Structure 1
Amino acid sequence: MFKGIITIVFTGILFLSALGAYSQTSSSNQEPSINQPVSVQEDSQNQLGLIYTVKKLDEARKLIEEDNYIEAEKILLDAKNWLIDATEFHYNLFQIFNKQQKNINLAKIEKAHASDFGNARDQAFYLLAKTYIGENKLKEAVGLLIEIVKSQNGSILSGQAYKTLQEIKFSDKAK
């Protein structure tokens, strides 16, 4: 009889666990609300997220257009440093998760985040280089532009960076 009670209790616990898991699964399959971001990276208020930093880059871009290089440089230095770190952090997580088959989906997420943050980092490099050029700090711009060419070889941004290197007379134009 004691075994029968244990079996019933165990079966009840198992049933309740399965029911709880089902309700979590069915509620997570619902469409997210309009105000709820799909990813933490899409939350414009999340200072660790990509959208927040991209908004800072847009703010700096507008300041550059207004020739307000000092304010743009402040924003861009902060954004650049965070984007370098975030890219590396997400890449490190990708490498950790990629070693185990059970974590392959996490690895894919982290690889995508590393790529997205890397692209934003290179945009920050380009904007900061344009800021330095506007301030006539050409030597500071060169390293950033070369990093873009190295990181994004063959991309539109890489072409813009190389063209800028030619415009500031660091590299010759092909004939």
Structure 2
Amino acid sequence: MDRLVKRSDGVAADHARLAVSLASLTETSSDTYATDTNDVPLLNDGLVAMSKHLRTTQTLMEDESKAWDSGVLEDLKRQRDALNNETKLAGLRAKPEGLLKPGEVEKVVEAIIKDKESIVDQHNRSVFVKECIRDELIYFQQTQYQVSRWNQDWAQERVKYSEMLADNWRRLLDELEGMPLGD
């Protein structure tokens, strides 16, 4: 897993280098294709899009690598340590009483318990974080809907009252119809 993390970081860095190279090509496109520069803007747009995509890929790969490093890799290390401690405990329990240091078995048992608690805590935290993110996304989506609703409601109210005002002014015009104009 550690090697995968390092390789992923390396590939991400390669994506960044390629993105920079492609972006720099746009600076020379006009000179390179000076005989006919009509398609140079489209060529440059494609190079910029590819560069942007590669930068995004770089960022995602780096994020994934960090997640592996702080998540799976740490869990694997804890599991390894827990298994090593289990083996150590079995070895200690196989020793005759007189060869054991006082508290040695208890110390290993305590380390095993802590490792297992840590694994459970990490898992629980991971589940909690996912739930929090899900709730935040739901809340965020609901706020978008609320903004849409109140804008639509406000516009609908404006139309309704504009029509009522227009009717009010039409009725006034009708009532003012008989007023003398002096013609």
TM-score range, shorter chain: 0.3 to 0.5
Q: Which has the larger radius of gyration?
A: 2
Bigger RCO of structures 1 and 2 (CA < 8 A, at least 6 apart) = 2
